[in-house]
Amino acid sequence: MLASRLAHDVGKYMARTAHNVAADKWTPTLAAMLCRDLFELRGGRASAVFETLARPIESLSGPQEGLVRARAHLAELDALEGHLRASDAGALARAAVLALAVEDGLRKLARDLGKGSP
Amino acid sequence: MSTEVPKVLIVDDANHYVEVAHQFLRGYRYATRCSLPGPCWTCPKFGHCSLTHAHDLGEVNQALALHPDIDVVLLDVVFELPRERLVPSGEVDLEKRRRLQGLAILAELRKTHPTLPVILMTSQEELAYEDAAAALSVDEYVTLAGADAFDARSLGLLVERLLARRVVGPDPGPYHWGKSLCMARLRRDSQVLARTSLPILLLGESGTGKTALAEKVIHGASGRKGAFLSVDLAALPSTLVAAELFGTSRGAFSGATDRPGRFERADGGTLLLDEIGNLPMDVQRTLLLVMESGRVTRLGESSARPVDVRLVAATNADLASAVRAGTFRADLHSRLNPAARLLVPALRERIDDLPELMSALLARGFAAGPNATLLADYRKAAGLAASSAPQLSTGRPAAASDGVTFSVAATSMRDLRAHAWPGNVRELDHLVTTAAVFALSDALSGLAAGRAHPATAGMLPISAKLIRELVASLGVRAASARSGAGAMSIAVEPAATLHALSRHIEAQVFRRAYEEVGGDFEALAQRFLQGDPAANARRVRLRFNQLGLRVGRAPRAKK
């Protein structure tokens, strides 16, 4: 259940804008939307919401490779924040890739842990 | 549906979806709660306005009142709202209510707008832990955006698919779908495929209703003006199949006349080739040519005639295996569009639909013919005024009404659910009709003997013992068919419906057996039913009469 919630509350929402923008089509409006996805989710930054939901999963199910990978991606995204807010084209393209990777990974984790798991 | 640009209502407690829609889906109109003309992205308040969409059920109703021409609703599932803004519920867990608020809004929406298309902005995975996905899947007007919830292109395609489905209009024919998940899928897929020009392959066990699906749904929804024709290829001698399908000209062979085949007769309509796996190899090639060219050549003729026929093929055989075994052409198999095949589920896979199916079969079985006459006799004897279709009550005693209500006990329903139903709906049809006929017969006897209480008029219980006997006899018949014991040769001719076909077969079985036992109904009962032959003889005789057979026509067998 927690894994499903993680996929929904973090993965789904942080990939919202990334799903729709080709690598070279970023505008300031879209960059602002992406920043809201990554740093202004309900509950705070995506990385913070992730930690809140991921820790109980790790304490119940042990270390999960999917969580480790997602944490690394989120850390990289946090490091890119300044460049993203400045609409840096390279950073935006990289952030979109990372956001989609986190979403994919968390959905896969939710499927793997399955119904009845934490 | 409006005739202009489709109008979309977004229901989301936050701005996630409305921002995506306003950025990437500008080909639609949006149902706002604002009186200003749209679109929102041209408004000075764009990005700072909360009237762009609905945030809770109250605002949904507000938007629906302002926009009666909404075409599609995009509905979020998780709503982080204060308790007072949630749909009232008996659920005490506030978090759970929030996480399933979209479903609660959907349920309320269905009360006032039962057919309004809704796209739930979530996936099966996200709903799975709440066990809510199955509940949603039976609502054919709901689709899940899944992993593409925020992908505008995929979302646009979903919207278009829902709108296209809505153009189909109401259900085209009386087909009993039930409420099971597998039937909901079949309904959705068959109605979509019906509107294409592709051949359709129906797969399913015997008796599942493939012919009815082809006629009532696929042909009904296709909008084709021509006739619906069905050919059972298993019932035709292989030497006659080509002539039957493609027609003949005078002199084609000895005794041949100028006669159109089924393809010509179905021109402008739909042709069902039932048991397509039985098609002889040489005819398979000709069928392939007809399908590819849209032209048919009668046997003995050299010029082809154009035909416009929607082809539906049905089988309970594994065609892929037949292709591998070399008994079915791979190119014909491909042409039958196996990728878009429709799987008609066995009755045991939709056993929860049993009560609804029984009711429907009962109403149909007593709509005309000898059964209707018997029912009318009972109504007259019982002094019942209403002539409505008989009702079925399952699991509890029938409530009094001015019509006829058969009731099946809960224990009987358990027996029926436990049965494997190898003959599927057709087998159920026979059982229900037979049981009801016996119940009517018993009631008529009671009335004639003056034993029926006026207060019970119209309430006809079907005894648990009778159901057990009938179910047991189905098992015996299945075993008998498998072992070959009591085998008899039956002449099968194509009939207008499967019901008529099965009735024809049943009449032959009764007639043959009646002749073999020299008109002795006790002996006939012994052959057909378990239990006391003397007691069963009356039931067998009643069914004998109901099948239109007459006592005395058969010569007594030599002792």
What ipTM does the predicted assembly reach? 0.88
Check residue B207 and give left, alpha or beta (phi > 0: left; psi -120 to 50: alpha). Answer: left
- Which residues in chain A are contacts of B152 at CB distance < 8 A? 19-20
pLDDT at position B475: 61
Kindly give the residue spans of alpha helices, DSSP state H, lying in chain A: 2-6, 13-14, 28-39, 46-61, 65-79, 81-85, 89-113
pLDDT at position B159: 82
Whether A12 sits inside 8 A of B128 (CB atoms) is: no
- Which residues in chain B are contacts of A8 at CB distance < 8 A? 78, 122, 126
Q: Is residue A118 one of the residues assigned to a domain?
A: no
| Cβ B474 vs Cβ B419: under 8 Å | yes
Q: Is residue A42 one of the residues assigned to a domain?
A: yes
For chain B, the C-alpha Rg in angstroms (whole number) is: 29
Chain A residues with CB under 8 Å of a chain B CB are: 1, 4-5, 7-9, 12-13, 15-17, 19-20, 29-30, 33, 42, 103, 107, 110-111, 115-116
Q: Report the distance separating Cα B375 and Cα B281, nearest Å.
A: 49
- Which residues in chain B are contacts of A9 at CB distance < 8 A? 78
Q: Is residue A15 one of the residues assigned to a domain?
A: yes
The total domain count for chain A is 1
Which residue in this structure is represented by tokens 């604002």?
B34
Whether B150 sits inside 8 A of A1 (CB atoms) is: no
Mention every residue, 6+ apart, whose C-beta is less than 8 A from residue B475.
B419
- Which residues in chain A are contacts of B14 at CB distance < 8 A? 42
Whether B125 sits inside 8 A of A110 (CB atoms) is: yes
Q: Is residue A109 one of the residues assigned to a domain?
A: yes
B149, B152, B153 member nearest A12 (Cβ): B149
pLDDT at position B484: 40
Instruction: Choose among B458, B462, B453, B461: nearest CA to B375.
Output: B458
Q: Report the distance separating Cα B74 and Cα B137, nearest Å.
A: 16
B16, B125, B147 member nearest A13 (Cβ): B16
Which chain A residue shows the shortest CA-CA distance from B76? Answer: A8
Which chain B residue shows the shortest CA-CA distance from A29? Answer: B23
Q: Give CA separation, B345 vs B152, B207, B208, B274, B499, in Å.
A: 35, 10, 7, 17, 19
Query: CB neighbours (10 Å) of residue B322?
Result: 17
- Which residues in chain A are contacts of B128 at CB distance < 8 A? 4, 115
- Which residues in chain B are contacts of A115 at CB distance < 8 A? 128-129
Whether A20 sits inside 8 A of B147 (CB atoms) is: no
pLDDT at position A77: 97
Q: Is residue A35 one of the residues assigned to a domain?
A: yes
pLDDT at position A79: 97
Query: CB neighbours (10 Å) of residue B151?
Result: 20
Backbone angles phi, psi at B119, to 5 degrees: -110, 120
Q: What is the dihedral of CA B360, B364, B366, B369, to 10 degrees?
A: -170
- Which residues in chain B are contacts of A33 at CB distance < 8 A? 19, 23
Backbone angles phi, psi at B272, to 5 degrees: -100, 120
Question: How many Cβ contacts (< 8 angstroms) between chains A and B?
Answer: 49
A1, A8, A20 member nearest B24 (Cβ): A20
Chain B residues with CB under 8 Å of a chain A CB are: 14, 16, 19-20, 23-24, 78, 80, 99, 122-123, 125-126, 128-129, 147-153
Q: In chain B, which residues have pLDDT < 70?
A: 1-4, 124-140, 164-173, 339, 386, 395-402, 451-456, 475-491, 552-559
Q: Is residue A72 one of the residues assigned to a domain?
A: yes
Q: Give CA separation, B96 vs B121, B126, B170, B538, in Å.
A: 17, 13, 35, 59
Whether B148 sits inside 8 A of A19 (CB atoms) is: yes
Whether B20 sits inside 8 A of A20 (CB atoms) is: yes
Give B295's strand partners: B306
Instruction: Choose among A32, A36, A94: nearest CA to A13.
Output: A36
pLDDT tens per residue, range B81-104: 999 999 998 888 898 888 889 988
Which chain A residue shows the shortest CA-CA distance from B152? Answer: A20
Q: Is residue A32 one of the residues assigned to a domain?
A: yes
Return the residue in A6, A17, A20 with the most chain B beta carbons within 10 A, the one to mutate for interface testing.
A20
pTM score: 0.52
Q: Report the distance separating Cα A22 and Cα A4, nearest Å.
A: 28
- Which residues in chain B are contacts of A118 at CB distance < 8 A? none
Mention every residue, 6+ apart, whose C-beta is less than 8 A from residue B131.
none
pLDDT at position B311: 94
Whether B125 sits inside 8 A of A42 (CB atoms) is: no
Which chain A residue shows the shortest CA-CA distance from B14? Answer: A42
Q: Which domain holds residue A46?
A: 2-113
Which chain A residue shows the shortest CA-CA distance from B153? Answer: A20
Q: Is residue A28 one of the residues assigned to a domain?
A: yes
Residue A16, pLDDT above cutoff 70: yes
Return the residue in B81, B126, B144, B148 with the most chain A beta carbons within 10 A, the one to mutate for interface testing.
B126
Q: Give CA separation, B355 vs B187, B428, B432, B456, B541, in Å.
A: 19, 11, 11, 23, 28
- Which residues in chain A are contacts of B20 at CB distance < 8 A? 16-17, 20
